[in-house]
Amino acid sequence: MHRTPIRRFAILTSALILGAACAPADLATRLADPHRAESDRARDAGRKPAEVVGFLGIEPGMTVVDLIAAGGYYTEVLSLAVGPRGHVYAQNTRFTLEIRDGANDAAMTARLADGRLPNVERLDREIGDLGLAPNSIDAAVTALNFHDIYNGRGPEAANGFLLAVKAILVPGGVLGIVDHAGGAGDDESLHRIDEALVVAAAEQAGFIVEATSDVLRNPDDDRERNVFAEGLRGHTDRFVLRLRRPIDSAGDES
């Protein structure tokens, strides 16, 4: 059944009220399934996917997109979260698929082989040309990617990314950003970003910065080391932001 933007906003609001209470436990059970890759299950302790998904209000039946999905860890998490009535787009740019001798392309191909995640659709397209209809996506997630866009290509590119995502979200839709917290050193070389910069960029693009979660915080990370440093990788201090497209906004509004 077609849902109007107002109706879909009501569903999303309900998810935020109820999701944090019930979704994490249900999803945690599905994530523990031994048919899921052991390497993915090993990463769960550091990434806490059930808690992140609950915080973002993602629930069964939603249409979501995993932006710059790489090998698809979060793609599979989202697939389990939205269930058979939902749909997940696993988006990757050409660059993301080709780096490291095509490791991400190979990993995503293996993850989706033989239709093992039937509610997932690959979207091998650039951010500025997603090919998705405006106002069609309930929620989007990008994990550990925004710093590369902002640091590598500058604030204008970051703004373009945010506006492109905002355009495809339904009014009231959510964008979740997970990233390595910075602000204590040379964030570009450390692969980090100051949360305040992300907040400012989101507000400039017309998002409501609705909430931040401490679920992935690590006070033992002084934010002065490279995120790939021995003993730190997978245990960095990370922030999780929940951004919302205003219900009365135009998707391409800056």
8 Å CB contact between 135 and 8: no
The pTM of this model reads: 0.88
pLDDT at 249 over 70: no
- Beta strands at 208-213 and 169-180: parallel, antiparallel or unpaired: unpaired
Which CATH fold would you assign to the domain 5-244? Rossmann fold (3.40.50)
Closest C-alpha among 96, 92, 97, 58 to residue 78 = 58
8 Å CB contact between 240 and 176: yes
Lowest model confidence (mean pLDDT) among 26-35, 92-101, 137-146:
26-35
* 207: CB partners within 8 A, 6+ apart: 162, 166, 175, 243, 244, 245, 246
Domain residue ranges of the chain, discontinuous segments joined by +? 5-244
From the number of C-beta atoms within 10 Å of its C-beta (0-12, 13-18, 19+), residue 160 rates as middle
Alpha helix positions (H), 32-72: 38-47, 49-56
- Beta strands at 238-244 and 208-213: parallel, antiparallel or unpaired: antiparallel
End-to-end CA separation in angstroms for the chain: 31
Alpha helix positions (H), 32-173: 38-47, 49-56, 73-82, 94-112, 146-153, 155-168
Closest C-alpha among 209, 215, 254, 222 to residue 238 = 215
8 Å CB contact between 111 and 75: yes
pLDDT single digits (tens) 151-210: 999 999 999 999 999 999 999 999 999 999 999 999 999 999 999 999 999 999 999 999
pLDDT single digits (tens) 83-140: 999 999 999 999 999 999 999 999 999 999 999 999 999 999 999 999 999 999 999 9
Amino acid 252: pLDDT: 57
% residues pLDDT > 70 (the chain): 88
